[in-house]
Amino acid sequence: MPASHPPVVSKVVLSLDPLHPDEPSSLQFKMEMAQNDSGNTPKSYSLNMFKDFVPMCVFSESNQGKFSLEGKVEHKFDMEPHSENFGEYGKLCRERTNKAMIKTRQVQVIDNDHGVLMRPMPGMVGLVPSGSKDKKRVTPTKGSDVKRTRRDRRELENIIFKLFERQPNWALKQLVQETDQPEQFLKEILNDLCVYNKRGPNQGTHELKPEYKKTTEDVDTT
């Protein structure tokens, strides 16, 4: 059976003005698409030849590493829709613009008006640097802290939340005794979860930040 030929995609039409053959504008190239695609895709294109173009060669390489000369590129063209297709090309550009202007994103309203979903949750604290506090040098631990073994950070956060459910204010020494954790490690977590009262009736104690107070209150009500 004879081998089937590949389908023709397009053809190039060369036109020459016989009355003015020496003028550069007398030689024109036009490419016409062979297949009639649906839509407003232009069917004809003008080919504008480059004047300053360095010829090139096309090589191929086999699996064995051998090179072969496949051909030469002596001319380079710019392709643009032909003037007779400007109407169709204009419709195509408008269709693309309209599709790009269609908003695909959707806005979803969250029913939870307490904003719990937007607040930092236990376990996420400490993943993002909190500013200048992270740049401070860690002071060496005291001798009494060496005996204490660090808990998992998330587990310790849950313990701290439980303690603040019992009472709203805690001194650092009290929390060290309750959690049995190294003082320096406990300070790092308290800096993320709590506010230190420097003055007032609760001076020298820690209390939960407002966002965590609301979180624990919501959990209790549910």
Complete domains list, the chain, with CATH? 10-95 (no CATH), 122-134+142-221 (1.10.10.10)
CA distance 130 to 191: 9
Supply the pLDDT for residue 118: 54
- Report if pTM > 0.75: no
SS3 159: helix
- Size (the chain), residues: 222
Q: Is 126 left (phi over 0), alpha (psi -120 to 50) or beta?
A: left
CA distance 198 to 194: 13
CA atoms within 13 A on the CB side of 194: 24
Whether 58 and 70 have beta carbons less than 8 Å apart is answered as yes
Please report, in tens digits, the pLDDT of each residue of the chain (222 residues total).
556 677 877 888 888 888 877 777 778 888 888 776 656 677 888 888 877 888 899 999 999 999 999 999 888 888 888 777 777 777 777 887 888 778 777 777 766 555 555 556 655 555 555 554 545 555 555 544 456 788 898 899 999 999 999 999 999 999 999 999 999 999 999 998 999 999 989 999 999 988 887 655 555 555
Supply the pLDDT for residue 190: 93
